[in-house]
Each structure stands twice: as structure tokens, then as C-alpha cells.
Amino acid sequence: MTPSSDVPDAQAAPGRVDGPLPARVHAAGVPVVGIGASAGGFDPICEFLASVPPASGFAYVVVQHHAPALPSILPQLLQRVTGMPVTELVHGMPVETDRVYVAPAGGGCGFDGHCFTVQPPDGPAAGRHPIDSFFRALASYAGESAVGIALSGTGADGTIGLAALRDAGGLTMAQLPSSARYDPMPASAIAAQAVDIVALPGEMAAQVADWRRRRGDRGAGALPVQASDQRAALQQMFQLLLQQTGANFADYKLSTVMRRIDRRMKLRQCATLPDYVRWMADNPIEVELLFKELLIGVTSFFRDAPVWDYLGEYALPRLLEQHPEGAAFKAWVPACSTGEEAYSLAIVFDEVLERLRPTARFTLQIFATDLDGDAIDRARQGLFGHAIAGDISAERLRRYFAPADKGSYRIRKDLRGSIIFARQNVISDPPFTKLDILCCRNLLIYFTPRLQTQLIPLFHYALRPNALLVLGSADTPGRFHELFAPLAGTSRVYRRLDADPGRVTSYFPTRVANVALPPIHQIGHASMKENLQTQVEQLLLRKHSPAAVLLNAHGDILYIHGRTGAFLEPAAGKANWNIHAMARDGLRHELAALLQNATQSDQMVEVRGLVQHDAGGRPESALDLTAEAMPHSGPLAGTIMVTFASHALPPQKRRARASPPLVQELEQQLAQARLEIQAVRDEMQASREELKSANEELQSTNEELQSTNEELTTSKEEMQSLNEELYTVNAELQSKVDDLSLINGDMKNLLNSTDIATIFLDSALRIRRFTDQATRIYKLIATDVQRPLSDIANDLDYPELEADADGVLRTLVVCEKHVPTRSGGWYTVRIMPYRTVDNVIDGVVVTFINITEAKQLESQLRSMQDGAV
């Protein structure tokens, strides 16, 4: 996504491209501008069309959400703001430039040849995505001549379609969200990084015109650039990408790389590749944008459905049959992008288990990797837009996804937990091993044949015997028929074959990130014939370059160049590719000293004029040896390059005779020294073998630790599950506590509203609870709870209260008395048993009803009666 403020041509004026094209152009390649809008989209559509010149050379198609049952007056309304003819699109209508077409409500629009097609609505309106459908069809029809625009609207319709347009080389644009009445639709496309330019609707027409003008200039009027300049610029670009992102694109297919680079050049208004590279060097953010552009993230759920059906119906059940006792399978999905392929594999595996219901336990751990860290972060979330409903059946959507915010879907938690997402470079980073399934779909087609021949054996190395390799519709194992065989009934799922490990590893002796470029005559037009310069260079390498070997720090041979048979030979016994064991007699000691000096020096060390003897002991030739430690950083770090250069001896040296006495004595001493050195070397070799054995033991220990780690991971998952259960129980308890607090408050208010003094006592006549009115009789405060009632001062003339309460506890008979107070008042004291909800007596309830007025009236009445008598 490139905001308009970052694009130099954002404010250019509208213009025509190489003059107007004639109306009613029916030829292939008619440029089309697709406009998608929803709620609040009428005003921005008018703003855009009002800024388009009448002869722009494009056809314009407006796709908007509106009800199919209602007649549309949109064509009549749009005709008021543009001079181009505006018509409603019907089936079979030809594609013509300088016209505006309004898509019919509800139907799906596409292309058939050079005409439009219209399909009737299918399914409920909530599940249709007409903008996505049209943009996808437009990407197939117009490709690099297509433009897609997302304007105001709700939902995320159009996001997937814009991504398809962008991948096809077209231009994608979105309305500035702050200017949209409803911003979810353009914001969704921007967040998905499917948009090249973000701008106001009135500015978009000028940018579309300038974009097409630059395409025309580059196709016809651009000044030619020398192939050497192009090659140097491309090399510098790869170096910038490698330094800033750590990714090497030198082994990607040149046509794919150049198409993506050309796209960025058009957006940046760079006429030549060297100009664009200079722009990149001055603007590091452009390196990141190009990096995102080169990472082709086109993916979807269950892409190429027959392959997934075959996996679920045949391949995976057969894999389960091979392990009747159960198994923990491992799978690797390289280049997973935003995770759809990995989740598809997890869903299919779960469906197989659900259908077969095996008695043994099977699990699948999926490792999903990608070079794009942002895509990995999105994959980890397991959150997808509503558009996935077009790729996933309703049953799968119901079983494996849960609705989330804004119409999106979230993958089921157990499926998300079975996948580990990580950032990885499949070209240079170590692979996962001991795999049962490797799903690499539509990745190899972007690599050169040289890189493909390295990755296919690497996949063989990573898989277990009889494991599955799943490739894309355009991928094959190539010439490696001895490594993989297709399963019956499919050409995309392969079974790993047993092969000679030495032969397999010979395909990738060292995994070196090489930034060398393939020979090219002109960028973008790779020659089908072999380059003459390459043939000459290969001839020179064969005829004149010295024999050489590449060693590691222990002297093990990693790579052999040229003919080294005169200097090295395999040692008898067990195969040993160490140079100290393979060096011929007369070279071992010199090589040992040479290698030691090379590891201690930053310069090349050499030994010249070393005399070689024939079988009769006569001097035969002279040998020059060189050794050089490779730089500490880079793909060859930690290795040593040794070269052998043999040349003839001068005649005088061949005829030279050694003086017998002194020379014989020196030769004897030299032979003794060599024997001692050989003994030391044998000891070193024995120590090395012991170290190898110890290393194997450590590897075994490491495997045990890995097994323990897997068990700990399982325990962690169980603990997480238990924690989830505890969290659920805690939530329920919290809900009960809240309900109890509410009920408690209701009861307190109820008791206070009765205006009756009440005291609750337990079985020991300790205060359990009291109402506010009870404080008028007993001097109670909040801290008196759990104190005996007899300890509390009161105004009652009722010393028998505790005794009566004990009697109630014993007999369960309610006690009621009229009791005076010391201040002249009267209360009816009622003592009742306290029954729990389980009908258990657990104390008493004492209520005090004020009857002072009744007693006073009774006294007055009695006095009146006595007076009358």
C-alpha cells in the first residue's frame, strides 16, 4: 500500500495517453477501471467520474451493493456528472472504451471473450460478494491493463479482488478512509496491503491517466539501457534487499522479479532500472515495499479443491493405516503466507479423524513458515474476513469457525493450537526434519530451475520414508524420479521413495546463499540459447583453473573442483572424506602444516616447488599448494579453500643427484619425524572418532530432550485446558456471588422496609445479623456480629430472654411475650426457630414489635372503665 502523499505523481493533472482511443474498441487488452462501492458510495463515484475526461481510453464498470428487487436509477443519476455514455450492463454486451457500465443488482459480472457476462444471483444476499467476484474476473481479463478502486462502503467486499488485481499487475486504489462516509471497505483493503494508492476520489482519475502514460512511455519511448548497466543495477538491488531484509531474490525467476520491479518503477515514476535502484538506496522504506511486492502472498482456503479431496479421501487415510497403533504426525507448510493452506490441512486431517474414528490416537503438529513476518503475525491470529465464505462450505464454516467482530471469522481454538507459525527462509534456513507431510504448493514456480533442483532433494531429506509431498498445480519434482513417485489417481501428491543418502546429499553439498545472476542479454528477455561468454568461461575453468577442494574446520571435504586424483585418493577401509586421510604420501605433512597456518592467518598461505616422485623414486614434477581461510561472514564462513597446481621440473633438477652421506642421515631423521607425526595424527584421529561417538550420544540425548520437550508441551496444553476449565468455574462462581449479593441486598431492604426490629441468633445465641430498627432497643454496632446477645446493653425489662431462646431451641415452640422497657415503652417479643433451606434448625429469630401506643390506649380505656364504675 502506497499512500498518495508518498507517490510523486499524486497531484498530476488529468490527461490522455498517446491520444484518445476510438470508442467501441473490441480488441484484446481493452483497459478497464472497476469501481466498487457500497453504503455512502454514490458521492465518491460522482466525484471520480466528474474528473474523468470524455476520451480517457478506459471502460468504467461500477459495481455497487443494492437490493435486486428494486429498480436502479443509478445510470440516470451518473449520466448527469459525466459526458461518457452510461448504460446498465447486460449479458453479452461488448466491452467498449469511454463508456460507463453499471452492474445489475445482485448478479455476478464477468467476461467472456470481449463481452460482459451476467450471472443471476445465487444464495442469500449476505453471502454474495459481487465486487470481489468482478475484480477477480477483471484480473483474468485485463491483467496489467486493469484498475481496481474501492470507495466508501461497509464490510470487506473488494479486498480479495483487489489483491488478485494487484497480483496480476494491475493498479489498485482505495478512497482515503477519513474522506469516506463509511470507511470499513477501503480500510479493509488498505489493512490487507492490497492497495497501491490511497487518495481522494477526485484525484484518482489523474493518477490513473499518469499510470497508463508511464506504461506507454516504457513500452515505446524509453531510452534503451545497456544490458551491463541493467545487470549491475539488478545486482545492486539484490544486495540492498539482502542487506535490509535478509532475503536473496537472485534465484527467483527473472520474469517474475522484473514484473514486480516494473510495477514499483511505474508507481515511483522511474524511467530506468538504475534510476529506481538509486531511489531505493536513498529511501530505505522503498526496499521494504519492494520486498513486500516480491513476496507473492496469493492464497486461499482449499485452493485447487480436488487435491484436498484426494488428501481427505485417500492419501491421509492411507497414512493412518500405516500406523495402527497411533502416531504423532508432523507436517511442514513452507511459504504459508497468511495461514490458509496450513489451516486447510488441519481441517482436512480433523475431518479424516472424524470420519474414520480410529481407536488409536493420532495427532498432527503443523509447522507453517513464511519469509514475510507480517503475514505470519496475521496467520497466528487465525482471523479472516467474511470473504472466506466463498471458499469454504457452510458446513465447514459452521464447524471450524466462530463469528468475530465486523463480520469476520476466527478459526477454532484447537486447530489454531495445532499449528506453529514461524518466520523462515526456505532457501537458506535449515529445514524441518522427520516430517510425514510436506505441503509446498505454488512456490517452486517462482524459483529458477537451479534452485528447484536444490529444494526437491532437500524436501526428500526432510521427509520420513513413504511420507507425503503435496505440490501445486504447476509444480513437479522434475528430474528427481528416484526421489518421489506420484500416488495413484493424482499428479500433485507424491510419496517419498528410498534413495541412496549419498546421492541425495550430493544434490546440495553446501546450502550457499549465492547472489550471482543468471546470464542475460537484456533484462526481461532471457535468451533461450546459452551465452557465448558462459561457454568460454566454463572452458577456461576446465582447462586452466587449478584443482581445488573446499574443507571445513576439521579437514572434511565439502566440495571438489577439477581433477584431484594425482593428489588425493580414498583411504582403504571405511569411507573417509577427510583430506588428511585421503592425501597421497609426501603431501600429508605439508598439507597439515599448510592448513594450520591458513587457519591462523588472514592471508593466503602457500608452499611452492614441492617435488613429487614417480614410482621409482625419481623426481617427476613440482607442486604448488595454496590454502586460504574464507571470510568469517558470508555463506562460506568457517571453510578453507585448498588448490593444487602441478608443473614440470627444470631439467637440471631432474638430473640432480643427492650426495650420499649427509643426505641419507637427514632422510633418516626426516623419516623418523614423519613416523612420530603419523603416530600423533593417528592419536588425533582416534580422539576424533571418540568425539564423533560422544557427539552421537549427545544427539541421542538431544532427541530424548526433544521428546521430553514434546511431553512438556503436551502437559502445558493440558494445564492450559485445566486453566481454561478453572477460569470457566471461577466465572460461574463469580456469577453466583453476584446473584447472592443481589439477593442479600434485596433481603436487607425488605427487612428494613417492614420497620420491625429483628435479630438473628445462632445456636449459641451469638448475633448473626440484625436490622437497623434493632439498634433502638439494643446498643448494636456492625462489629457486634458473632458476640453473645447477653453482652449487649439493652432497654428491655426482660432478663429471661436468653432462657426463653434456649427453650425455643429445645422445643421448637414459638415464644411470644409483651415486655416493657425501662423508658416506659412496650414491645411484643417473638422468638422463633431459624430454619435453613435444608430444614435444619440453626438458631433463633427474635423480633420486636412496638406496641407502646396500644398499651397506652389500653391503660386509658381501663382507667375510663374504672371511673365509670
Sign of torsion, CA 250 253 258 263?
A: negative
Place of cell 508511464: 214
Structure-derived torsion over alpha carbons of residues 827, 830, 831, 832, reported in degrees to the nearest 10? -160
DSSP letters for 254-313: HHHHHHHHHHHHHHHT-SSHHHHHHHHHH-HHHHHHHHHHHS-----TTSSHHHHHHIII
Rounded distance, CA 46 to CA 38, Å?
A: 14
In this structure, what are the phi and psi dihedrals at residue 363, rounded to the nearest 5 degrees? -135, 160
DSSP 106: S
In this structure, what are the phi and psi dihedrals at residue 542, rounded to the nearest 5 degrees? -75, -40
- Give the active site residue among 9, 38, 210, 372: 38
Supply the angle between the helices 130-142 and 159-167 in degrees, to the nearest 10. 10
With CA atoms as reference, report the closest residue to 106 among 85, 127, 125, 132: 125
DSSP letters for 534-562: HHHHHHHHHHHSPEEEEE-TT-BEEEEES
Rounded distance, CA 422 to CA 559, Å?
A: 32
- Does 323 qualify as catalytic in the annotation? no
- Does 38 qualify as catalytic in the annotation? yes
Supply the angle between the helices 284-294 and 227-245 in degrees, to the nearest 10. 90
- Give the active site residue among 9, 157, 196, 350: 157
**Alpha helices (runs of H) in 520-636, residue ranges in sequence order:** 532-544, 579-582, 588-599
Q: Which residues contact 574 (CB under 8 A, 6 or more apart)?
A: none
With CA atoms as reference, report the closest residue to 103 among 52, 166, 24, 157: 157
Helices (H) and strands (E) counted in the chain, each on its own, are 25, 30
> Please, what is the Cα angle at 23 between 22 and 29, to 5 degrees?
80
What's the number of CA atoms in the CB half-sphere (13 Å) around residue 182?
Answer: 14
Q: What is the H or E stretch that residue 173 is in?
A: strand 171-175
- Give the active site residue among 6, 43, 66, 621: 66
Residue type, 767: I
Contact 125, 149 (CB under 8 A): no
Provide the pairing of β-strand 99-102 with 59-64: parallel
- Does 157 qualify as catalytic in the annotation? yes
With CA atoms as reference, report the closest residue to 330 among 181, 435, 254, 413: 435
Contact 591, 625 (CB under 8 A): yes
Contact 232, 271 (CB under 8 A): no
Rounded distance, CA 419 to CA 349, Å?
A: 12
Task: Residue 705: count other Cβ atoms within 10 Å of its Cβ.
Answer: 12
Q: What is the H or E stretch that residue 352 is in?
A: helix 340-356
Supply the angle between the helices 284-294 and 254-268 in degrees, to the nearest 10. 140
Q: What is the H or E stretch that residue 832 is in?
A: strand 826-835
Place of cell 439493652: 794
Rounded distance, CA 233 to CA 58, Å?
A: 34
Hey, what's the cell of 403?
463469528
Q: Which residues contact 435 (CB under 8 A, 6 or more apart)?
A: 330, 331, 332, 462, 463, 464, 467
What burial letters (b/e) apply to 59-71, b meaning 16+ CB within 10 Å?
bbbbbbbeeeeee
What's the number of CA atoms in the CB half-sphere (13 Å) around residue 169?
Answer: 18
Which residues carry out catalysis?
38, 66, 157
